[in-house]
Structure 1
Amino acid sequence: MHTEPDAAGSFIEQARRAQIVQSTIEVLAEQGYGAASFARIAQRASISPGLITYHFQTKDALISAVLATVEGRLDAAMANPEGEEPESYPAALEGMLRRFAEHCRTHGGEISAMTAIRREVQGEAVRQAVARTDRRGSAELVAFIREGQEHGQFRAVDPALYATVLMSAMGEFPRFRADDVEEQRRVAADWVSLFVNAISTTAGPGEDTDPADPTWSAP
């Protein structure tokens, strides 16, 4: 099979950029944002620092690429599996949060890198990218909650408030790391249940629908 030089060059450049991004993720996850210098990233990738600047002229450009990569993978992981349609809005929320928690467990390094960027970022371009992502995520979540409320499946809570609290909790969730897989999954199940039951009009397992009901009693 004949490959055109431009196509080959493009493929090689894309592969090199992907290698640099992945090495940056690993350095961020292990050593933090402050330690993610071109020198350390180059050492991890077994390349020269000059090769990084060839593909990413500034650290902001590299960090923006890392953020886009990690967030893209997370978005894909949280999406409904192809051909699967949740039976209700609470089920859709549960599935999304369950997949988020599982991705955090299996891709902890990526999540740690994203968290480090969001907490310690200094460049204006990256700050704006983070802000855009947050606005988009919040708008999508608010629209989803409103749809669920219109169908009578979500409680009449303020959608923006719920979205803000949930997104904040998603940012903190990766800190809840247990010693073994089963414990991690138990914590994840409790976390997911907490947010689904908080907004669903149907009670969760073993719960009554209305705490104001005189027959209700706390466990």
Structure 2
Amino acid sequence: MRSKNRPVGQKTSSFIEEARRRQIIEAAIEVIARSGYPGASLAKVAAHAKISKSIISYHFSGKDELLEETVHQIYEDIWASIGPRFRAERTAAGQLRAFIEAEFAYLEKNRARLLTVGHILMNHRDRRGRLALHEESERQTLQMLGGILLQGQKAGEFRDFAVLPMATTLVHSINGALGHWAANPELSLTDYARELVTIFDLATRKQPAPRTRRG
């Protein structure tokens, strides 16, 4: 949803407006990564971006929209990095490996984005008090990873298992690894990615049928 303060009848944003929105979102990412969710005031974001608060109000209807758009922009940036490698894979196992390795590689170089999306997802509530952004994020990730797992089963790559529990375990393993690294940045996120790929390769792969002994 775009700000209601924009001129009526303006159907598309100009290049300058989009650049300004991106500038504001980048400032929000840096402020939240440094100060956490409680520090995500529009005044602090404006000061960091070296603009007036009224400029933020022109481009965003309020703090809620800014935070929501910040999360969406971070996910778009992550997928822009992951997408080419993911789409190049022709097997479910390859897609699973590409997703984990490419996501971790991107976030290792963009720690502020990981911190910011974590702060927002775990704290921002909608008018009904729900962690709606967190719920939406988890639902979409489960749907995507569940689709890969199901595809692997149908193709005969993966063994029979309950897809939802496996996808849920994978999602929480990824989030747990990222959360631990966020708190301990001296550790290698590459090591986490490698071990997760190995764990879920072993957990999903189809075992060869046992040989029957000849009498």
Task: Tell me the TM-score normalized by structure 1.
Answer: 0.79
Residue 213 of structure 2 is aligned to residue 201 of structure 1: no
* Aligned residue runs from structure 1 range 46-125, under 5 A: 46-81=50-85, 84-86=88-90, 88-124=91-127
Partners of 1:184 and 1:99 in 2: CA distance: 11
Counterpart selection for 1:144 from 137, 142, 148: 148
Partners of 1:193 and 1:93 in 2: CA distance: 11
List per-residue Cα deviations over 1:170-219 (Å, max 9, x = no partner): 22222224526xx43233312322222221226xxxxxx79x9xxxxxxx
Partners of 2:77 and 2:18 in 1: CA distance: 17
Counterpart selection for 2:22 from 18, 25, 40: 18
Partners of 1:178 and 1:133 in 2: CA distance: 24
Aligned residues: 197
Alignment CA distance shift 1:152-1:82 (3 Å): closer
Alignment CA distance shift 1:178-1:79 (3 Å): same
Q: Give the unaligned 5+ runs of structure 1.
A: 1-5, 203-208, 213-219
**Contact 2:158/2:206 (CA < 8 Å) preserved in 1?**
yes
Q: Give the unaligned 5+ runs of structure 2.
A: 1-9, 211-215
Residue 35 of structure 2 is aligned to residue 31 of structure 1: yes
List per-residue Cα deviations over 1:104-163 (Å, max 9, x = no partner): 201111111111111111234994344333322222221221110112211212110111
What is the match of residue 7 of structure 2?
none
Q: Tell me how large the CA RMSD over aligned residues is.
A: 2.7
Partners of 2:67 and 2:198 in 1: CA distance: 34
Displacement of 1:64 in angstroms is 0.8
**Percent identity at matched positions?**
24
**Contact 1:78/1:97 (CA < 8 Å) preserved in 2?**
no
Alignment CA distance shift 1:56-1:28 (3 Å): same
Partners of 2:58 and 2:122 in 1: CA distance: 27
What is the match of residue 213 of structure 2?
none
What is the match of residue 162 of structure 1?
166
What is the match of residue 190 of structure 2?
185
Alignment CA distance shift 1:188-1:132 (3 Å): closer
Displacement of 1:16 in angstroms is 0.9
Alignment CA distance shift 1:144-1:83 (3 Å): closer
Alignment CA distance shift 1:24-1:11 (3 Å): same
Partners of 2:185 and 2:71 in 1: CA distance: 26
Task: Tell me the TM-score normalized by structure 2.
Answer: 0.80
Alignment CA distance shift 1:178-1:191 (3 Å): farther
Partners of 2:82 and 2:123 in 1: CA distance: 25
